[in-house]
Amino acid sequence: MKLLFVSNFFPPAAVGGYEQWCQEVAQALLARGHDVSVITSRADVNDNGTIPVYRALELEVTGGIRSTIGRFLRRRQLEASNLAATERLVNEIRPDAVLIWGMWNVPRSVPALVEGLLPEQTAYYFCDYWPSLPGAFVQQLSAPAKRRVTALPKRLVARAMLRKAEPTTPLQFRYPICVSHAVRRLLVEAGINISHARVIHGGTGVQPVEAGRKTSAVVRLLYLGRLTADKGFHTAVEAVRVLAERALTVQLDVYGQGDPAYLQKVCQVIEKHHLSSAVRFFGSVTRDELPALLSRYDALIFPSEWQEPFARTVLEAMAANLLVIGTTTGGTGEILKHRETGLTFKAGDALDLADQIECVARDCAPFRKFAETGRNAVLERFTLRRMVDQIEEVLGSLSDSRLTSRKLVNI
How far apart are alpha carbons 38 and 53 in whole angstroms?
5
User: Using an 8 Å Cβ cutoff, are 224 and 306 in contact?
Assistant: no
**26 lies in the same domain as 135:** yes
Give me the tens of pLDDT residue by residue for the chain, a chain 411 residues long.
Answer: 999 999 999 998 877 788 999 999 999 999 999 999 999 998 778 787 789 999 999 998 887 777 877 888 888 999 999 999 999 999 999 999 999 999 999 999 999 999 999 999 999 999 999 999 887 777 776 777 666 655 666 666 666 666 666 667 889 999 999 999 999 999 999 999 999 999 999 999 866 655 555 556 789 999 999 999 999 999 999 999 999 999 998 999 999 998 898 999 999 999 999 999 999 999 888 888 888 999 999 999 999 999 999 999 999 999 999 999 999 999 999 999 999 999 999 999 999 999 999 999 887 677 889 999 999 999 999 999 999 999 999 999 998 766 544 443 343
**404 lies in the same domain as 375:** no
- Asked if residue 332 belongs to a domain, the reply is yes
The reported pLDDT for the residue numbered 407 is 43
The reported pLDDT for the residue numbered 410 is 40
**320 lies in the same domain as 397:** no
The reported pLDDT for the residue numbered 209 is 58
**28 lies in the same domain as 45:** yes
- Asked if residue 211 belongs to a domain, the reply is no
CA 403 to each of CA 95, 390, 395: distance values in angstroms, whole numbers, following the listed order: 12, 20, 12
- Asked if residue 213 belongs to a domain, the reply is no
- Asked if residue 214 belongs to a domain, the reply is no
DSSP 297-337: -SEEEE---S--SS-HHHHHHHHTT-EEEE--TGGGGGT--
- Asked if residue 209 belongs to a domain, the reply is no
Helices 368-381 + 312-319 axis angle, to 10: 110
- Asked if residue 299 belongs to a domain, the reply is yes
**183 lies in the same domain as 90:** yes
- Asked if residue 80 belongs to a domain, the reply is yes
- Asked if residue 189 belongs to a domain, the reply is yes
The reported pLDDT for the residue numbered 132 is 93
**320 lies in the same domain as 296:** yes
The reported pLDDT for the residue numbered 87 is 97
| Domain extent at residue 344 | 219-381
**46 lies in the same domain as 97:** yes
**400 lies in the same domain as 319:** no
**307 lies in the same domain as 390:** no
The reported pLDDT for the residue numbered 37 is 97
Instruction: Name the domain count of the chain.
Output: 2
The vertex-267 CA angle with 255 and 149, nearest 5°, equals: 115
**367 lies in the same domain as 388:** no
**100 lies in the same domain as 245:** no
Which letter, b or e, does each residue of 127-145 get, where b requires 16 or more Cβ atoms within 10 Å of its Cβ? Answer: bbbbbeeebbbbebbeeee
**162 lies in the same domain as 34:** yes
The reported pLDDT for the residue numbered 118 is 97
Residue 248 belongs to a domain with what CATH number? Answer: 3.40.50.2000
